[in-house]
């Protein structure tokens, strides 16, 4: 599973979210092959390369194109 975690600036919040997401997914038995955290500006252009995107609720609309390509977006 390829996972993207994206927040406004790609430093503090997304790094903390990345750690929590990785821990939770591994605890549930998911095989994570790649997990990356970044700013929204990078995330919305690269999201199509991932299976799942985690982002704060106020940014969900920025991933509409990725959702159309089958990417799961979780807020």
Instruction: Summarize pLDDT for 1-37 with one digit per residue, the tens.
Output: 999 999 988 778 888 999 999 999 999 999 999 999 9
Q: Give me the pLDDT at residue 8, please.
A: 87
Question: What is the rounded average pLDDT for all residues in the chain?
Answer: 94
Q: Give me the pLDDT at residue 64, please.
A: 96
For residues 16 and 72, give the distance between their C-alpha atoms in angstroms, rounded to a whole number.
Answer: 20
pLDDT single digits (tens) 34-63: 999 999 999 999 999 999 999 999 999 999
Question: In what helix (H) or strand (E) does residue 35 lie, and over which residues does it extend?
Answer: strand 34-39
Instruction: Name the residue ranges covered by the structural domains of the chain.
Output: 2-74
Domain 2-74 has CATH 3.30.420.40: no
Q: Give me the pLDDT at residue 45, please.
A: 95
Buried-state track 2-39, b at ≥16 Cβ within 10 A, e below 16: ebbbbbeebeebbeebbeebbeebeeeeeeeeebbbbe
Q: Which is it for strands 72-74 and 34-39: parallel, antiparallel or unpaired?
A: unpaired
């Amino acid at each position: 599973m390829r996972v993207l975690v994206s927040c406004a600036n790609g430093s503090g919040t997304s790094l903390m979210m990345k750690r929590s997401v990785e821990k939770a997914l591994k605890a549930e038995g998911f095989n994570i092959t790649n997990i990356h955290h970044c700013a929204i500006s990078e995330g919305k252009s690269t999201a199509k390369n991932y299976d799942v995107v985690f982002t704060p609720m106020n940014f969900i609309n920025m991933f509409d194109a990725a959702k159309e390509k089958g990417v799961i977006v979780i807020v």
